[in-house]
Amino acid sequence: MWDRASVKAQGKANFKRNYWNSVLVALIYSIFFLASGSTARGRSGNISREVLNDPDFMKILMIILALIGVLIAFGSIIKIFVINPLEVGCNRFFLVNQYENATIGEVGFSYKNNYLNAVSGIFLRDLFTLLGFILFVIPGIILGYSYRLVPYILADDPNIKGIDALRQSRQMMSGHKFEAFIYDLSFIGWYLLGLITCGIAVAFYVRPYKLNADASLYIAIKRANGYQG
């Protein structure tokens, strides 16, 4: 069984050993995934009856909705085929960094090593987690933790099929989900510090530290399940 303090200490040591590369990859990770997860916001207001009765209103509305649909479809394609393998590559960097000073080139790992496995694995993880949230919030959170290790498994073994990576993650996380949840909660203080510093501490310390520790957590759970690593 792994313990939280050792995992965090290992992650911090790996982060400090390869500081600037860790910061850069964490920035890449955060920028792309914040962008992919963002939703369009707009101001809501009262639409007058005159506007609703305007014969051109529905035509304009349909065009706007069609454009929004195209943007959503385009964004989904970028997410699936560009950002998903990038997520695996970023996690590959932090995984390699557990053993040696990883280079930025690891970020492109999945584009050169069984690309479709990374695409399908992350897509299926996102799909099943989303379905869990649609059914109810708690099942979505549980599924999120069940499939937490998918990008690391894909980064660790590019030959594994996407659906098999989900199955392996679910098996490896059995009995570890609650401890992993507490582990995540233990970083709340660090993120509050990041808010106080207007995000500077998050960019240059908290996020790269957390991502290195997450890779250490994967290795700890992997070993707890009897895998070599």
CA dihedral 105→84→148→142, nearest 10 degrees, is: 160
Could you list the residue range(s) of the whole structural domain that residue 19 is in?
4-38+52-224
In this predicted model, what pLDDT tens digit does every residue of 137-182 receive, in sequence order? Answer: 788 889 999 999 999 999 999 999 999 999 999 999 999 999 999 9
Does residue 68 register a pLDDT over 70?
A: yes
Residue 49's pLDDT is: 57
Count up the domains in the chain and report the number. Answer: 1
Residue 225 identity: N
Q: Is residue 142 part of a domain?
A: yes
Q: For the residues 170-195, what does the mean pLDDT come to?
A: 95
Judge contact between 125 and 103, C-beta under 8 A.
no
Eight-state DSSP code of residue 107: G
Residue 41's pLDDT is: 45
What count of other Cβ atoms lies within 10 Å of the Cβ of residue 3?
11
In this predicted model, what pLDDT tens digit does every residue of 80-115 receive, in sequence order? Answer: 999 999 999 999 999 999 999 999 999 999 999 999
Q: Is residue 152 part of a domain?
A: yes
Q: Is residue 229 part of a domain?
A: no
In this predicted model, what pLDDT tens digit does every residue of 15-63 receive, in sequence order? Answer: 999 999 999 999 999 888 776 655 444 444 444 555 556 666 667 778 8
Q: Is residue 44 part of a domain?
A: no
Q: Is residue 103 part of a domain?
A: yes
Q: Is residue 106 part of a domain?
A: yes
Residue 2, by phi and psi: left (phi above 0), alpha (psi -120 to 50) or beta?
beta
Q: Please give the full DSSP string across 54-100, using - where no structure is assigned.
A: -TTHHHHHHHHHHHHHHHHHHHHHHIIIIIHHHHHHHHHHHHHTTTS
Q: For the residues 122-128, what does the mean pLDDT come to?
A: 95
Residue 27 identity: L
Residue 59's pLDDT is: 74
Cα 104-209-226 angle, rounded to 5 deg: 85
**CA distances (Å), 148 to each of 1, 57, 185, in order?**
18, 45, 15
